[in-house]
Amino acid sequence: MMTAQAMTPRKDAGIRFDAVGKFFGTHKVLDGITLDVPKAMTTCLIGPSGSGKSTLLRCANLLERPQEGAIFVDGTEITDSKVDLDKLRTRIGMVFQHFNLFSHLSVMDNVTLALRKVHGMKRDEAEAVAFRELEAVGLKGFERRRPSALSGGQQQRVAIARALAMKPEVMLFDEATSALDPELVKGILEVMRDLARSGITMLVVTHEMRFAREVAGQVVFMDQGKIVEQGSPDRMFDAPESPRLRYFLDQVL
């Protein structure tokens, strides 16, 4: 599905969370999170609603800033106040549950805007990149459409192409299929699976346990702001150790 050309040139980086703590007011949403997200591998974050999965993901590109601990991307501490956030974020792509496409722009401009304004590409150069990325997610011929004229699945493909066009070293997915009609979920999971196989580092929050099992190199179970258990997908799903993970899997499987 994804063309090799659109996927290859990418230097991979890992993420390390070191004793990360995050409060919203007095509510401690992340509590001493220490986690390695290895390079060139997919890590799936699972856990009940409100356990802090999205917040942890959003800390990885500092959409949320933790009050405790440190976060490293490719060995560089990003929680250091001297880090150029805008530059850092070009290395970390993010896909949201609700797509968050720029609704006043065409599909093409959604993908090229940051290439032009952040990477300083010329329009034709940026459009060449966008054509490749859009084709890779199966959206050839949709370039002139407005997001509102696309299905949810197509909108999410645009969002993925938009993120990948920046050639990130890491991709973050926050429940990328949760807002989609059931029949559209499979297609997006396929795109994500192909992407995972391309060898990019991925951190994926998902409720799709089958996807986690097939694609993840590591599964992390969170509950109440803490990592309760982590391991290989087979171990996590076949032999969960903690009662909380067992209970959670009982609920979702």
Partner 1 sequence: MSIGLERIQETFFDPVILWHSLETLVVIGLPNTILLSVLASLIGMAFGLLIATGLMASTVFVRFPCRVYVDILRGLPHILTIYLIGQGLPLAGLSIFGRDTYSYAALAIGLIEGAYMAEIFRAGLQSVERGQIEAARTLGMSSAQAFFYIMLPQGVRRVLPPLTGQFILVIKGTSLVFLLGLTVSQREIFSIAQDTAINSANLSPLTAAGLLYLALTVPMTYGVNAWERRMRMGSRSAR
Ligand X SMILES: Nc1ncnc2c1ncn2[C@@H]1O[C@H](COP(=O)(O)OP(=O)(O)OP(=O)(O)O)[C@@H](O)[C@H]1O
Residue ranges that bind ligand X, judged by CB under 6 A = 24, 29, 47, 49-55
**In terms of CB distance, is 7 or 172 closer to Mg ion?**
172
**In terms of CB distance, is 136 or 165 closer to partner 1?**
165
The secondary structure element, H or E, covering residue 194 is helix 182-197
Q: Please state the closest distance from residue 102 (CB atom) to ligand X, in A.
A: 22
Q: Please state the closest distance from residue 119 (CB atom) to partner 1, in A.
A: 8
If contact means CB under 5 to 8 A according to the sort of partner, which of Mg ion, partner 1, ligand X, none does residue 52 touch?
Answer: ligand X
- Beta strands, E only, the chain: 15-24, 27-37, 42-46, 68-73, 76-77, 92-95, 170-174, 201-205, 218-223, 226-231
Q: Which residue's Cβ has the minimum distance to Mg ion? A: 54
Q: Please state the closest distance from residue 58 (CB atom) to Mg ion, in A.
A: 9
**In terms of CB distance, is 21 or 138 closer to ligand X?**
21
**In terms of CB distance, is 54 or 79 closer to ligand X?**
54
3-state secondary structure of 29: strand
If contact means CB under 5 to 8 A according to the sort of partner, which of partner 1, ligand X, Mg ion, none does residue 55 touch?
Answer: ligand X
- Taking CA atoms, 93 is separated from 23, 96, 112, 143, 161, in Å, by 24, 10, 14, 21, 10
**In terms of CB distance, is 93 or 167 closer to Mg ion?**
93
Q: Which tokens in the block code for residue 142?
A: 């949709």
Which residues are near partner 1 by CB under 8 A? 61, 63, 86-87, 89-90, 92-94, 96, 98, 100-104, 113-114, 117-118, 146, 148-149, 159, 162-163, 166
If contact means CB under 5 to 8 A according to the sort of partner, which of partner 1, Mg ion, ligand X, none does residue 240 touch?
Answer: none
**In terms of CB distance, is 47 or 93 closer to ligand X?**
47
Q: Please state the closest distance from residue 34 (CB atom) to ligand X, in A.
A: 17
If you count DSSP H runs as helices and E runs as strands, how many of each does the chain have, helices first? 10, 10
Torsion angles phi and psi, residue 107, rounded to 5: -55, -45
**123/250 Cα distance (integer angstroms):** 51
What burial letters (b/e) apply to 40-58, b meaning 16+ CB within 10 Å?
bbbbbbbbeeebbbbbbbb
- Taking CA atoms, 92 is separated from 74, 154, 164, 214, in Å, by 11, 22, 9, 23
Which residues are near Mg ion by CB under 5 A? 54
Q: Please state the closest distance from residue 75 (CB atom) to partner 1, in A.
A: 20
